[in-house]
Amino acid sequence: MICRMWHGWTSPSNADAYEALLQGEVLAGIVSRNIAGFHGIDLMRRALGDEVEFVTTMWFDSLDAVRDFAGADYEVAVVPAEARRLLARFDARSTHYEVVERRSA
């Protein structure tokens, strides 16, 4: 399994709008693509004083499945234009990790 991780930062005044955009359109759009080998996406948020950080983790069977999502240059961040307008900065490239083990409590 592959974990794709990405970070974006926004101002506190844009954070709720950005989160709503992700929850209302972006994440649903990803899921609706029905990408073979895609197993879900997690969204995390934390306040950092003068900015708010968002982290997404996506779960895929393989790098081939990641390429089906992101394209041949699979590390490039997939950030829609509307999301870019709300972000102060973001990772231009996502990182990918081979998941060695996942355990449930």
| 2-58 pLDDT tens trace | 999 999 999 999 999 999 999 999 999 999 999 999 999 999 999 999 999 999 999
| pTM (2 d.p.) | 0.92
- pLDDT at position 104 over 90: no
Largest CA distance in the chain: 39
Of 56, 1, 57, 60, the C-alpha closest to 33 is 60
- So where are the chain's domains? 2-98
pLDDT tens by residue, 48-84: 999 999 999 999 999 999 999 999 999 999 999 999 9
**pLDDT of res. 1:** 96
Domain 2-98 classification at class level = alpha beta
Q: What is the DSSP string of the chain?
A: -EEEEEEEEE-HHHHHHHHHHIIIIIHHHHHHT--TTEEEEEEEEEE-SS-EEEEEEEEESSHHHHHHHH-SSTTB----HHHHHH-SEE-SB-EEEE-------
